[in-house]
Amino acid sequence: MTLFGYWRSSAAYRVRIALNLKGLQYEQKSVHLIKDGGQQHAEDYADLNPNKLVPTLVDGEFTLNQSLAILEYLEIKYPNINLLPANLADNMKCRALALDLACDIHPLNNLRVLQYLTGPLAQSEEQKMQWYFNWLEVGFTAFEKSINKVAGNFCFGDHVSWADLCLIPQVYNAERFNFDMSPYPLIQRVVAHCRTLDAFTKAAPENQPDAV
Amino acid sequence: MTLFGYWRSSAAYRVRIALNLKGLQYEQKSVHLIKDGGQQHAEDYADLNPNKLVPTLVDGEFTLNQSLAILEYLEIKYPNINLLPANLADNMKCRALALDLACDIHPLNNLRVLQYLTGPLAQSEEQKMQWYFNWLEVGFTAFEKSINKVAGNFCFGDHVSWADLCLIPQVYNAERFNFDMSPYPLIQRVVAHCRTLDAFTKAAPENQPDAV
């Protein structure tokens, strides 16, 4: 399998954790999101992924974009390690937690959106950070409440799930911009535990071949 | 089942189409996103859905947020009608198409985001619409390309899927603001076909009990 990604992409980071947890071998191809005006806009990459976003997974003849679709694919094709609970209700709750992060925080704070704010909308760096912190605060406040009755070592009890795979990259991003995580003790507890695990550490941005 | 939603919410609209296609009975409870400063912020609703967004599905004792998690739940619990292909690769492609819309267009253009642009970021109505149209254009251009080799009557061949359930509400929103859909003939063809179907018509915003 080949994963087209970028070291700092939260969405690629999610998939790297899943691949590592399942013990799958994969090759990484770096799509540098800034160099050359963004290599994701190059014609050959846009043919692979019309959204011009990362990640894209290529498994033999099969090409798939969208990190959550890729997680689903890996879940079905490589069920040796399950990253969602077997119980229907628990399974759905973990999916919803992952989507809370992947739909309601991450799309608002990714690179192209921040570039649009400071470019066409002519916002200052300060306004950009106000925007960025606002959606983190709204999202993490809700997430902290959502996991209040279910968190264990992980977001949902003591079994790693997609919720953790989406949370760790989002928190990495928040910390990178010095966002104060102290109002979210449950999130911090889960993050601290995940960071003790090899699959998470190996997937961290600074440990990728294209890290600068 | 009870669906907490709002007539103009794209995410609630997706779920209504799924419920209708599967022939399921459900009660609707309206969460008015504007009245009273937004009823989604009321304490009792925020306890049900900490994200203070719609929809939320309540099925007996089970409560679930996130429209795509709700679609998954309905798919597993009520498999009488399948809204995803059985074949693994096709199934994943439909999921990715749905996520293209649900992650890469919709979160950028929903009410709370537009309110933040004109509120705290003090953008004009014109700048707000520039933002809105930009993400529609970026997203629909990619989507049109993505369905180029696979579209039939629906986004993916001749079988309705989550891709259609996400597309129709997004196009409804675009048309509401007079966004020009003519550069997207495949999308327009799929939308025209879906609009001939009762399940889609019954789910349309103007046909909901809380429509104004």
Q: Which residue from A103, A204, A197 is spatially nearest to A154, judged by alpha carbons?
A: A197
What residues of chain A lie within 8 A of the CB of B53, using their CB?
104
**Domain match, B69 and B128 both:** no
Q: B97: distance to nearest CA of chain A, Å?
A: 8
- Mutation target to probe the A interface, by most A beta carbons within 10 A, among B51, B63, B148 is B51
Element (DSSP H or E) covering residue A65: strand A62-65
Q: What is the mean pLDDT of chain B?
A: 97
Written as one letter, the residue type at A12 is A
Interchain proximity A121–B130, CB inside 8 Å:
yes
Number of CB pairs < 8 Å for A and B? 105
B142 touches chain A (CB under 8 A): yes
Final residue in a domain of this structure, among A63, A81, A99 = A81
Residue B154 CA to its chain's centroid (Å):
16
Q: What is the pLDDT of residues B160-177, one digit of tens each?
A: 999 999 999 999 999 999
Share of chain B above pLDDT 90, in %: 98
Q: What is the pLDDT of residues A154-165, one digit of tens each?
A: 999 999 999 999
Q: Which residue from B94, B50, B89, B93 is spatially nearest to B71, judged by alpha carbons?
A: B94
Please report the ipTM that was assigned to this predicted complex. 0.97
Average pLDDT over residues B15-22: 98
What residues of chain B lie within 8 A of the CB of A127, using their CB?
121
Average pLDDT over residues A11-37: 96
Question: What is residue A137's predicted lDDT score, i.e. its pLDDT?
Answer: 98
A14 touches chain B (CB under 8 A): no
B206 found inside a domain: no
How far is residue B11's CA from residue B5's CA, in Å, rounded to a whole number?
8
Q: Is A151 helix (H, G, I), strand (E, B) or coil?
A: strand
Average pLDDT over residues B135-158: 98
What residues of chain B lie within 8 A of the CB of A106, using their CB?
103
Interchain proximity A116–B103, CB inside 8 Å:
no
B207 found inside a domain: no
How far is residue B100's CA from residue B74's CA, in Å, rounded to a whole number?
21
Q: Which residues span the domain enclosing A129?
A: 88-200
Q: What is the mean pLDDT of chain A?
A: 97
Specify the number of domains making up chain A: 2
**Domain match, B67 and B127 both:** no
Question: What is residue B195's predicted lDDT score, i.e. its pLDDT?
Answer: 98
Query: What CATH number corresponds to the domain at position B46?
Result: 3.40.30.10
How far is residue A132's CA from residue A205's CA, in Å, rounded to a whole number?
20
Question: What is residue A180's predicted lDDT score, i.e. its pLDDT?
Answer: 98
**Domain match, B143 and B108 both:** yes
Average pLDDT over residues B81-110: 97
**Residue B210 · residue B34 · CB < 8 Å:** no
A184 touches chain B (CB under 8 A): no
Element (DSSP H or E) covering residue A2: strand A2-5
Average pLDDT over residues B48-74: 97
Q: What is the pLDDT of residues A66-107, one digit of tens each?
A: 999 999 999 999 999 999 999 999 999 999 999 999 999 999
Residue B12 CA to its chain's centroid (Å):
6
